[in-house]
């Protein structure tokens, strides 16, 4: 393995710590000692101690339990006999941020891309431990064949009641569990610090339930007459429409069945069903929140 030339440190390091590391001539890869919680964003510092003025991050990728950070150097002006003089200013310290990972043990690698040719070289690697995620709960998806409406609930008693109780008018059952649903965390139980409550709302006017992880949206809809029925469960918000590794996007669809004054939202992790329903006239509203796999 090549001589270690880069320093990887966990997030939240104090400025004084960075200054201490700056004084080292050849900083080695240092294990991240601070605990990293499941699905919590964290930042890796890539320390440059070579005679190149700065390094650039090409890419980062996560494949299974391996994380690769690929980078290259920016050259100084070439001196006599190809000598690269020392930079006059401290080297750049790029920050590599990850949106979060599920619990497990990972291998974090730095991959160098030499300036003069396109061969990758493994600089070094460290072990990265992410704490296990708290226990999850099931969120069930149901469909009403009479009203053609979708509904989700984390309450197994509510699910069982809807499935087993016949409609008063028709005397037959109309609710069916139609998918595996998705995972979430209980509102009152342990959850990652990045998980937020998903509020449940109901409107008698349009005969529909609605779920949102956006607290401001939840409050605003109540001013329009939607009834707040409590926080249903906890999930992780997407960052820029992207869910962190180890989670799956819960996609939201909407349809307004005018002039009957009824509307419906569907929440699904099935990307193919999402696209199919858009072709059937539903409006795709993107990622509502993220569910642990």
Q: Which two tokens stand for residue 27?
A: 């900083």
CA distance linking residue 142 with residue 153, whole number of Å: 8
Parts of the chain with a pLDDT under 50: 1-28, 76-91
pLDDT of residue 266: 96
The answer to whether the peptide bond before residue 259 is cis (omega within 30 degrees of 0) is: yes
Question: Whole-prediction pTM value?
Answer: 0.75
- Listed in sequence order, the DSSP H helices in the chain are 15-22, 156-164, 215-223, 271-279
Distance CA 76, CA 84 (A): 6
Q: For 82, list phi and psi in degrees, rounded to 5.
A: 75, 20
The pLDDT value given to residue 126: 82
Contact 57/69 with Cβ under 8 angstroms? yes
Q: What confidence score (pLDDT) does residue 233 get?
A: 98
pLDDT at 35 (0 to 100): 81
Residues 85-110: tens digit of each pLDDT: 444 444 455 678 888 899 999 998 88
- Nearest CA to 135 out of 193, 181, 195, 190 is that of 190
User: What is the token pair recorded at 131?
Assistant: 């704490």
pLDDT of residue 84: 46
């Amino acid at each position: 393995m090549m001589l270690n030339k880069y320093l990887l440190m966990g997030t939240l390091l104090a400025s004084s710590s960075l200054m201490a590391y700056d004084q080292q001539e050849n900083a080695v890869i240092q294990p991240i000692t601070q605990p990293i919680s499941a699905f919590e964003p964290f930042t890796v510092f890539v320390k440059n101690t070579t005679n190149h003025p700065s390094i650039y991050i090409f890419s980062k990728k996560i494949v299974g339990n391996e994380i690769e950070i690929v980078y290259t150097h920016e050259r100084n002006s070439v001196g006599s006999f190809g000598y690269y003089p020392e930079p006059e200013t401290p080297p750049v310290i790029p920050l590599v941020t990850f949106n979060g990972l599920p619990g497990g043990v990972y291998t974090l690698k730095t991959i160098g891309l030499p300036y003069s040719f396109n061969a990758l070289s493994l600089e070094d690697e460290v072990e990265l431990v992410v704490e296990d995620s708290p226990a999850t709960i099931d969120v069930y998806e149901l469909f009403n064949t009479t009203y053609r409406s979708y509904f989700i609930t984390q309450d197994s008693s509510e699910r069982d009641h809807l499935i087993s109780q016949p409609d008063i008018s028709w005397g037959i059952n109309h609710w069916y569990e139609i998918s595996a649903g998705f995972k979430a965390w209980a509102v009152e139980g342990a959850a990652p610090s990045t998980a937020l409550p998903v509020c449940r709302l109901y409107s008698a006017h349009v005969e529909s339930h609605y779920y949102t992880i956006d607290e401001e949206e939840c409050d605003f809809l109540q001013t329009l007459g939607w009834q707040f029925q409590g926080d249903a469960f906890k999930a992780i918000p997407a960052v820029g429409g992207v869910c962190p590794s180890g989670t799956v996007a819960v996609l939201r669809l909407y349809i307004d069945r005018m002039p009957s004054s009824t509307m419906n939202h569907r929440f699904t992790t099935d990307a193919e069903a999402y696209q199919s329903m858009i072709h059937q006239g539903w409006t795709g509203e993107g990622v509502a929140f993220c569910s642990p796999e």
